[in-house]
Amino acid sequence: MKIISVVGARPNFMKIAPIHKELVKQSAISGQHSLRHLICHTGQHYDEKMSRIFFEDLELPKPDIYLGAGSGSHAEQTAKIMVEFEKVLLTEMPDLVIVVGDVNSTIACSLVAAKLGIKIAHVEAGLRSFDRTMPEEINRLLTDQLADYLFVTEKSGLDNLRREGIPEEKIFFTGNVMIDSLVHYLPKADKSNITEYFGLSPLDFVLVTLHRPSNVDSPDNVGKIISLLNSLAEKRKVLFPVHPRTKKNIDKLNLTINPDLILTEPLGYIDFLSLTKNAELIITDSGGIQEESTYLGIQCITVRDNTERPVTVEIGTNRLAGTNLAQVELEAMDVLNGRAKKRKIPELWDGHAAERIVEIILKDKG
Ligand code: UD1
């Protein structure tokens, strides 16, 4: 059996890593030399700090195939990936393509596989923000229509897929592979000295990541975000690893930065995990960080009007503050004044999702 897993953008790497490890393990246990797993990197993210450092941190082998797609408009990026991935599939003719998450690489590779009649497994299926102005929502909806195996991380995903008419036999509630990586690498993250490096004390700083086009594509809004962070830096040290999309707009403005607001480059997986675990509060618009903070019981404010991960708000530490920055500041002060949300860990976020996924894939293929 030949499987190709697709990675393209930063949030994909920690989702494929546990699946890769489990496939290697199963292939060794069963002595199945006939099981081959290839990793295809589309090159959607290409910077050292957005890509290569994750392969090292997550002990992933060098990708077997690199498409070098790079940046561009949505159409350009998706099209470049499709053209290159079609050549790969025609040469390799795998039995299954595994895609994860909701980035442009996910839908691009799914479309190509579906038209060549190659089966698709979508890991992290069924999440919905119900906001079609988000490119990720379009990618999620379409990928789920094409997939043959839909592996779901939280119960809302099951409801969404059933409502959309996806046949029951394609849907599997397997848990969260991103939490598999978190559980596996937490001991390593505990040895990181990144908090000391930035002069931060555990549970006494605010960690920020913001990269959604709706928050950072207007220089005016980026200016307002920095002024909010300047004001929070009066109360706590604030660390903001800046995504390239966000940096482009920060660089355009001549901003005054509070010395206790530290702007830095994007960080690797292990160091960022250590910071997540040690933060008093996280302010983010990322999808994955809402889940990681819930698992770790760290307070999280999400700067979005909706979330496709409602379990993190319902039983987790996540608060949906909306994109009104005055409201974000109010919620932040609430947390810094000691009003913390308690959390339960969502069902099947136990570090074993990849095992369940691989078992289903291999059983079906017999
Ligand atoms: C993509 C995903 C988003 C995910 C995010 C995580 C889509 C539609 N969006 O958004 O779901 O949350 O990744 O990071 O797939 N750039 C660099 N270096 C890089 C990568 C990007 O400079 O290594 C620049 C690009 O030139 C571009 C901008 O950052 O101008 C955005 O990159 P892009 O891949 O289009 O989308 P993201 O905003 O990163």
Asked if residue 247 is part of any domain, the answer here is yes
Q: Residues 172, 190: one domain?
A: no
Residues 206, 283 contacting (CB under 8 angstroms)? yes
* Cα gap 307→299, rounded to integer Å: 16
The single residue of 20, 37, 45, 211 carrying the catalytic annotation is 211
Asked if residue 343 is part of any domain, the answer here is no
Give me the pLDDT at residue 31, please.
76
Asked if residue 11 is part of any domain, the answer here is yes
Q: Residues 26, 157: one domain?
A: yes
Give me the pLDDT at residue 224, please.
96
Query: What is the number of residues in the chain?
Result: 366
In the reported structure, the alpha carbon of residue 338 is separated from the centroid of ligand 1 by a whole-number distance in angstroms of 35
In the reported structure, the alpha carbon of residue 343 is separated from the centroid of ligand 1 by a whole-number distance in angstroms of 31
106 CA closest ligand 1 atom index: 15
Q: Residues 232, 274: one domain?
A: yes
Q: Residues 20, 51: one domain?
A: yes
Give me the pLDDT at residue 34, please.
87
Asked if residue 283 is part of any domain, the answer here is yes
Asked if residue 341 is part of any domain, the answer here is no
Give me the pLDDT at residue 95, please.
98
Number of domain units in the chain: 2
Write out the two tokens for 187: 């001991």
For all residues of the chain together, what is the average pLDDT?
97
Alpha helical stretches, state H, 58-176 = 74-92, 104-115, 135-146, 155-163
* Protein residue whose Cα sits closest to atom 26 of ligand 1: 71
Q: Residues 159, 243: one domain?
A: no
Q: Residues 330, 190: one domain?
A: yes
Nearest to 256 by CA among 221, 231, 238, 281: 231
Q: Residues 158, 195: one domain?
A: no
Residues 144, 125 contacting (CB under 8 angstroms)? yes
Give me the pLDDT at residue 150, please.
99
Residues near 338 by Cβ (< 8 Å), separated by ≥ 6?
none
In the reported structure, the alpha carbon of residue 45 is separated from the centroid of ligand 1 by a whole-number distance in angstroms of 6
Structural domain harbouring 69 = 2-176+349-365
Give me the pLDDT at residue 32, please.
62
Residue 344 region by backbone torsions, left for phi larger than 0, else alpha for psi between -120 and 50, else beta: beta
Q: State whether the beta carbon of 140 lies less than 6 angstroms from ligand 1.
A: no
* Cα gap 200→208, rounded to integer Å: 14
CATH number, domain of 168, equals 3.40.50.2000
Asked if residue 280 is part of any domain, the answer here is yes
55-75 pLDDT, tens digit each: 999 999 999 999 999 999 999
Q: Residues 31, 159: one domain?
A: yes
Q: Residues 198, 138: one domain?
A: no
45, 137, 304, best to mutate for ligand 1 pocket (most atoms within 8 Å of CB): 45
- Is 211 one of the catalytic residues? yes
Q: State whether the beta carbon of 124 lies less than 6 angstroms from ligand 1.
A: no
211 CA closest ligand 1 atom index: 38
212 CA closest ligand 1 atom index: 38
Q: Residues 218, 81: one domain?
A: no
Q: Residues 30, 161: one domain?
A: yes
Going by their DSSP bridges, the two strands 149-152 and 96-100 should be labelled as unpaired
What is the layout of strands, in order, in the sheet containing 36-41?
65-66, 36-41, 2-7, 96-100, 119-125, 149-152, 171-173
* Cα gap 20→140, rounded to integer Å: 22
Low-confidence ranges of the chain (pLDDT < 50): none
* Protein residue whose Cα sits closest to atom 17 of ligand 1: 244
Q: Residues 196, 278: one domain?
A: yes
Q: Residue 353: in which H helix or E strand, if any?
A: helix 353-365
* Cα gap 299→256, rounded to integer Å: 28
pTM of this structure: 0.97
Asked if residue 181 is part of any domain, the answer here is no
* Cα gap 120→145, rounded to integer Å: 10
Asked if residue 54 is part of any domain, the answer here is yes
